[in-house]
Amino acid sequence: MTSKRLLEQPRAGDSTREGGEPVTGRAFKTHAPDEGALRNSGKEISPNGHYYTPTRERHYIHKKFACGREEDEQSSGGVLKHGCPANRLILNGFRLQDQTHMEARSPVRGPGEPGCRLPSPETPRPHMSSIIPVPHDRRPSGLADKEVMAATVLTTLSTSPLVLNPSSSASGADLAGKGWKESLSASYSSSTSGNWSWDASDQSVPSTPSPPLSNDAGKSFLLSSQSDDNIEETESTHFLFEDHIPRKRKNSMKVMFKCLWKNCEKVLSTSSGIQRHIRTVHLGRNGDSDYSDGEEDFYYSEIEVNMDTLSEGLSNLTPTSPTTSGPPPVFPILTCDASRSEPAHMIHTPLSQSAPSALCHIRTDHAYQATTPVSIPSMPSDPPHSEDRISVSWQSPPVIYKALPGPMTQIRTVSIGEKRQPVNHTTVSKTHASTTSTSKPTTGTRKPRGEAKKCRKVYGMEKRDLWCTACRWKKACQRFTD
DNA sequence: TGTGCCGGGAC
DNA sequence: GTCCCGGCACA
């Protein structure tokens, strides 16, 4: 042993003690770019280098998911909202007058901004009635319902496949459907009240056969508003799963009411429902009171939903694995400002939390000595693909998801063959031995080796001083992780 | 057989 | 705590 050390040590000692120190100099030059790169990658997340700060992490999630570009929020300080691609995307689903409706209104009201709930009486109300013939005397919501239902019936009955032809309505049906595939999915996860909501039960419908549609659509709409849920469900089922028959195409357009309040994607099927939603949620009025001064009219718009396109989008959203039986999937692009508007619903979903974590790489030479055991199991860092999440379920069991409610503490990218796994596995197996039984079929604690080259291969034994500390100490390589 | 690295020892 | 290495498992 001593002789062995004498053989190796002088080589390292020569490189570090001699005056010129050519090797050491090279060593630092070689290390510097790596560390710089690491810092730069960290800068993306946090200029302060506080990768683990929960607020920062959440803020980053918000930024990435809210507007896609950090500059959107940074430059605007959270005030400029109209550049949000999500909003633009949704706006594309509106008719032209709806966009005008909203844009003319938004700068005045500033909905979605805290502390800007009720407009002042002096605020000039935009006169949009010339663009959209919305009756202002909607106070009796029941009457409004009937009006809308009557209009809907007429629309439905008069809608023919020719109307759906893109040549006749350039941006109408397709764009509306495309936009609503996404806007509805937000309502799908965040809807709390109202007559119409797209909740997870709708996605479970494929397992049940479509009931025979005996009643006509017109009859359905003539029913009372209390039965809207059933109607909607029936209709959705009809549109989603019935074979391609002419009648389906005939009824594929549906008038819905979308809340235009900032960052609110609520979509309801009745005007009374959307008015109640706006009154209670956004205007802060008593939900039980039917009093309405018409204010709500400015906060929602009618839209025509192409149920065919919508059904396509929803069919793609159907969970494909029985393991995803927990929370319904949430689509990050629609969680714009979700932490502000509806924090209880949107934050703790696996997708919304997992995606940004892929950008957090914590790689330090000595990390294996301090941070290894706790960094991995605290957070599922899978990419936002369900298949990937499932494939690595050994390291992100439901237990981990349930431990998420608190702020994230540490995040680290973990790939399937990651070197960190042995440490994680041993740590978890002590506490959750039964849940991690699928991690490795072979006995023992060792894991399959990663694909990445290690310091030994990269630098060779001759340049052992260039190795990372872990490799030099025969520990898991920290420089070339898998 | 070379390599990665766990577990443990020396300091 | 750092530093190092025996020895095992894997490719």
Q: Which nucleotide is nearest to A6 (CA to C1')?
A: C4
Please, which pLDDT band fits residue A461 given cuts at 50, 70 and 90? confident
What's the CA A451/C1' B1 distance, rounded, in angstroms? 19
Q: What pLDDT band is residue A291 in, cutting at 50, 70 and 90?
A: low
Nucleotide with smallest C1' distance to residue A454 CA: B4
Q: What is the mean pLDDT of residues A362-377?
A: 37
Cβ A298 to strand B below 7 Å = no
pLDDT tens column, A27-83? 333 333 333 333 333 333 333 333 333 333 333 333 333 333 333 333 333 333 333
Of residues 331 to 390 in chain A, which lie within 7 A of strand B by their beta carbon?
A: 368
Instruction: Assign A292 a pLDDT band (cuts: 50, 70, 90).
Output: low
Instruction: Tell me which nucleotides of strand B come within 7 A of a protein CB.
Output: 3-8
Nucleotide nearest to A470 (CA to C1'): B5
Q: Residue A471 pLDDT > 70, yes or no?
A: yes
The mean pLDDT of A418-444, rounded to a whole number, is: 35
Residue A223: name the closest of A212, A234, A211 by CA. A234
Total-model pTM? 0.22
Q: Using the structure, give the distance in angstroms from the CA atom of A443 to the C1' atom of C1, rounded to a whole number.
A: 32
pLDDT tens readout for residues A309-323: 444 433 343 333 333
- For chain A, what's the residue count? 482
Whether nucleic acid strand B comes within 7 Å of the CB of A426, the answer is yes
Q: Residue A193: its pLDDT value, please?
A: 36
pLDDT tens digits, residue range A211-229?
Answer: 333 333 333 333 333 333 3
Q: Average per-residue pLDDT in chain A?
A: 44
Name the nucleotide with the smallest C1'–CA separation from A450. B4
